[in-house]
Amino acid sequence: MSMFLLLALNKRVICSSKIATEEVTLHLLRTKCMPILLYGFEACPLKKSDLNSLDFAMNRFFMKLLRTGNINIVKSCQSYFSFNLPSVLLMKRARKFDIKYRNHANSLCQMVKYL
């Protein structure tokens, strides 16, 4: 999974880095790539190793974009740009999905929630 993410992100960086700033690249990543990556994951449980793999791929992408090998610089830039790692986004999305699922009026959802 993370291999496909890295390939897609690397292609995006190579294409946009010649004409776009880091801010534009991060905006494209946040609006185009992350929703596709995270689609449907909130409904299925992921192992901690899967989440770590997604976070690792994202950190490596930032290292390539910023041309650095220092994880502290990467974390600072992620914080500065308010960029959440996939594990954080998935936790938020799973919580939102769970709330909607539990509050849904569908009788099947109501029956399953008590299991």
Q: What is the pLDDT of residues 8-56, one digit of tens each?
A: 666 665 555 566 677 887 888 888 778 877 887 777 778 999 899 889 9
- The set of residues, in sequence order, having a beta carbon less than 8 Å from that of 25 and lying 6+ positions away, is 12, 13, 16, 17, 65
pTM as predicted: 0.70
More confident residue, 6 or 57: 57
Mean pLDDT of the chain: 79
DSSP classification of residue 44: S
Domains in the chain: boundaries: 2-113
Position 91 scores a pLDDT of 87
Please check the confidence at residue 68 and state whether its pLDDT lies above 60.
yes
Q: Which two tokens stand for residue 17?
A: 């880095």
Q: How many residues does the chain have?
A: 115
CA atoms of 88 and 90, how far apart (whole Å): 5
